[in-house]
Structure 1
Amino acid sequence: MGYDSRFCFPLCLVNLLVMKTLRQQNRPVISYVPRVEPAPPEHAVKMDGFRDVWLLRGKYVAFVLMGEHFRRSPAFSVPEAAQRWAMQMRQEGEITS
């Protein structure tokens, strides 16, 4: 004998609904945390002649202290570009504060 289709369908539907609600209840809550850049890493090399520029993995990166945290620049191929970015960040920080 086979299963009665009228009996199996509601039972399967109930199982799916129960499993789905349990799965959603265990979902972690995702909240936004602003990204805070760290200070220059220990393996970065400070560039002589530049206030904020460090050599990191073959690229030039600027780290600027803004308030209590450092902001890190994108990677540049020349140190002058990284220093320009740092000066712009300092000017923007002076304007907003």
Structure 2
Amino acid sequence: MPWIVELTKSAADALDKLDTATRNRIRRFLRERLQGADNPRQWGKALTGRYAGLWRYRLGDYRLVCQLQDARLVVLVVQVARRDKAYIGA
């Protein structure tokens, strides 16, 4: 079964504030790699420590912090941020 992608309000707001090229690159990644994927884990890395249970996807200087909901087959994007700020408040 294919996975679907959802964004939290804060992640959607952060995405909307990015410059057009970066925003389009992230949207293309979500659409082409994660939306409809059989296994979204192949594109990311599991986080550990206080972020255990979350996954990160690296796109240049930006990170997508996501929660993979296996029961619903949903990749929930909880944060979109530059690499140096990605894990603050996630």
TM range (shorter): 0.3 to 0.5
TM-score normalised by the chain length of structure 2: 0.35
Pick the structure with more strand per residue.
2
TM-score normalised by the chain length of structure 1: 0.33
